[in-house]
Amino acid sequence: MDDYVITVLSNIAMISFIALSAYLLLITGEISFGQQAYFGLSAYAAGAATTMFALPIWAGILIGACVAGFVAMAVGALTLRLSGLYFSISTLAFAEMVRLILLIVQVQVEVDGEMVGPDGANGFHDIRWMFERNISLTEFMLFIYGLLALVLIALLLVERSRLGSVFRMLGSDDLLTEMQGLNTVRYRILAAGMAGAVAGVGGALYAHFTTYVEPQFFNVMLGVHALAYGLIGGLGTAFGPLIGVAIDVGFLEAVRFIQGYRMIVFGGLVAVLLIFMPRGILDEERVHRLKTLFSRWSHARAQGR
Amino acid sequence: MSAMLEVRGLSVSYGGLRAVDGVSLEVRPGEIVSIIGMNGAGKTSILNAVSGILAPEGGEILFEGESIGGLPAYAVVARGIVQVPEGRLIFGTLSVEENLSVAAHQRSGFMLRRRDRPDLRRLFPALADKLDRPAAGLSGGEAQMLALARGLESGPRLLLLDEPSLGLSPKLSTEVFGLIRRLREQGITILLVEQNVRRTLALADRAYVLESGRITLHGSAAELMSDERLVSNYMGVSAPDSSNSD
């Protein structure tokens, strides 16, 4: 595989984390325009861990995800009592605040005669953990997909669990959920923390894949795309947002003749889908039908033997 | 016998309009108590104040001697008071099983699901066979049964029922009233808001008549059955399928 294909495939996987992050909030009924902040915070935190503190990459990812998760919970505790639109606006404001702060943060230390660390508007360069260890792009891509698979399995398990039902209840009727004896604010903060951590894993991987990050990458367009992926792919299962990412980053980027019109095609696609499939391709109803089909099929197979 | 639920001088307002005005009532353990009244009399507001959905403007709400007025709704459920709201409110996109699984949250593990549901099969046989179906596909009667079953999953000691027979066919209404009787036999105390006055009085031990936010009459169901004013005001006009209460 050439490097371009590997880069596209890796991008699909890394963007999938932020798409899953936005999705997790979408199913609880919250629209966040700020998940890129957690992607970015974690990219910086993980980068700092492996460069400035010479920690291994798994520690960097863990630290990045924890930082993103805890900040998301703190922000959630402050903003989740706001209803709908006001919450969305506050997430946008927070994400822009994070981006602007990262533009001025300069904390560099000397490691092996070189200055490393966030360098304000110049970004954060030389996050070279992967290259210092001669890990090839292909190997790192497989590592990214391995982590994506783990996160996806974890989310699918959550969806099957009682916690997943609570999240979906929050998305359909807040008051009725409260009447089931569930502290809705607490569950929303938990969802925000989980979503922040998931975005964080993607951000940490991104920093190490590209070796440098700059605040400009974590602008609101990333967050808006993350939302759109779930809305395109569907809110019925965690596979939905992955389909959305594959359509945008995979298909639209790969098909050259759309190149200049990519945003137009993407925007049109979102608009058309929102009209005809308001909860995406794999919405709850289709997911249920697929599950029924699958269980019938496996039942028939088991009887055939 | 001391009261399980005691409401003293309760007042509730919406935007300056007083919906409940100094209502006092009590429910003793094991009773079925009913609140009877026209649409807009404030019946649902009383239930909502008890279950923590509405903040009372004045008065006291005591459950087993402790004040619960102003507690958040989830905390009221934890005390053992569960409201089954009017209008068969269920989570349509979730399966029947998922609708039920969450309320049981307080009684067992966090991530676990229970597969065997002997109680459900006994009380709601129609639901027990549809656990994997999306709740949105249930019929009106099944949806009401699901709302009731879900309420029971929280292990209530006091069940607040808001118009459980609203919009149901006479046959299904009979089923719902029969179910309420069985729940009482299981030791669940019930505060029932209903439009179907005749059937409610046949089932309840005591009843309160609510008019424009005030209690105008209360007594045992037998006494009220023989009250001429009540009979002419409510039983004559009680429409079994009127659409809304408050």
Cβ–Cβ gap A176/B150 under 8 Å: no
CB contacts, 8 Å: B86 with chain A: none
Tokens of A9: 């495939």
Q: Search chain A and give the residue with CA nearest B84.
A: A179
Q: Calculate the average pLDDT of chain A.
A: 91
Q: Search chain A and give the residue with CA nearest B133.
A: A288
Cβ–Cβ gap A288/B78 under 8 Å: no
CB contacts, 8 Å: A189 with chain B: none
Domain assignment present for residue B224? The answer is yes
Domain assignment present for residue B245? The answer is no
Cβ–Cβ gap B72/A175 under 8 Å: no
Domain assignment present for residue B122? The answer is no
Query: What's the pLDDT score for residue B16?
Result: 81
Q: Residue B82: which domain range? A: 5-93+156-235
Average pLDDT, stretch B87-114? 73
Instruction: Compute the radius of gyration of chain B from its Cα atoms.
Output: 18
Number of domains chain B is built from: 1
Best of B74, B89, B150 to disrupt the A interface (most A CBs within 10 Å) is B74
**Bridge partner residues of B160 (DSSP):** B83, B191
CB contacts, 8 Å: A176 with chain B: 85, 89, 91
Residue of B142, B189, B138, B168 whose CA lies nearest to B240: B168
Interacting residues of B1 by C-beta distance below 8 A, sequence separation 6+: B28, B29
CB < 8 Å from A in window 78-137 of B: 78, 82-83, 85, 89, 91-95, 98-99, 101-103, 105-106, 110-113, 132, 134
Query: What's the pLDDT score for residue B116?
Result: 57
Distance separating alpha carbons of residues B44 and B160, to the nearest angstrom: 10
Chain B nearest CA to A175, separation (Å): 8
Cβ–Cβ gap A168/B93 under 8 Å: yes
ipTM score for this prediction: 0.86
**What's CA B33's distance to the chain center, in Å?**
10
Please determine, for residue A194, whether its predicted confidence score (pLDDT) is greater than 60: yes
Q: Is B200 on the interface with A (CB under 8 A)?
A: no
Query: What's the pLDDT score for residue B220?
Result: 92
Query: What's the pLDDT score for residue A250?
Result: 76
Distance separating alpha carbons of residues B91 and A164, to the nearest angstrom: 13
Cβ–Cβ gap B91/A179 under 8 Å: no
Query: What's the pLDDT score for residue A15?
Result: 94
Chain A nearest CA to B171, separation (Å): 27
Q: Say which of A163, A173, A284 has its CB closest to residue B110.
A: A163
CATH number at residue B211: 3.40.50.300
Q: Search chain B and give the residue with CA nearest A161.
A: B111
Confidence of residue A50 (pLDDT cuts 50, 70, 90): very high
The Cα angle at residue A168 between residues A279 and B167, in degrees rounded to 5 = 90
Please determine, for residue A110, whether its predicted confidence score (pLDDT) is greater than 50: yes
CB contacts, 8 Å: B102 with chain A: 162, 165-166, 169, 177, 180, 182
Query: What's the pLDDT score for residue B215?
Result: 92
Query: pLDDT tens digits for B118-172?
Result: 677 788 888 888 888 889 989 888 999 999 999 988 889 999 999 998 888 888 8
* Strand B206-211, strand B214-220: pairing: antiparallel
Residue B10 phi/psi, 5-degree rounding, is -70, 130
Dihedral angle of Cα A249, A253, A259, A261, to the nearest 10 degrees: -30
Looking at residue B205, what DSSP letter applies?
Answer: S
State pTM to two decimals.
0.89
